[in-house]
Amino acid sequence: KQEVTQIPAALSVPEGENLVLNCSFTDSAIYNLQWFRQDPGKGLTSLLLIQSSQREQTSGRLNASLDKSSGRSTLYIAASQPGDSATYLCAVSTGNQFYFGTGTSLTVIP
Amino acid sequence: KAGVTQTPRYLIKTRGQQVTLSCSPISGHRSVSWYQQTPGQGLQFLFEYFSETQRNKGNFPGRFSGRQFSNSRSEMNVSTLELGDSALYLCASSLDRPMETQYFGPGTRLLVL
Tens digits of residue pLDDT in A54-108: 999 999 999 999 999 999 999 999 999 999 999 999 999 887 778 999 999 999 9
Does A43 contact B107 at a Cβ distance shorter than 8 Å? yes
Nearest to A49 among B56, B101, B106 (CB): B101
Q: Is B58 on the interface with A (CB under 8 A)?
A: yes
Q: Is A31 on the interface with B (CB under 8 A)?
A: yes
Nearest to A44 among B58, B104, B109 (CB): B104
Predicted confidence band at B9 (pLDDT cuts at 50, 70, 90)?
A: very high
DSSP B3-32: --EEE-SEEEE-TT--EEEEEEPPTT--EE
Do A54 and A73 meet the contact criterion of CB atoms below 8 Å apart? no
Do A104 and A10 meet the contact criterion of CB atoms below 8 Å apart? yes
Identify all chain A residues contacting B48, using CB atoms and an 8 Å cutoff.
96-97
| CA–CA separation, B75 and A28 (whole Å) | 33
Q: Is A86 on the interface with B (CB under 8 A)?
A: no
Which of B13, B26, B23 has its CA nearest to residue B90? B23
Is the confidence at residue B42, as pLDDT, over 70?
A: yes
**pLDDT score for A50:** 93
Does A45 contact B104 at a Cβ distance shorter than 8 Å? yes
Nearest to A46 among B58, B99, B101 (CB): B101
Tens digits of residue pLDDT in B50-99: 999 999 899 999 999 999 999 999 999 999 999 999 999 999 999 887 56
Tens digits of residue pLDDT in A5-47: 999 999 999 999 999 999 999 999 999 999 999 998 788 999 9
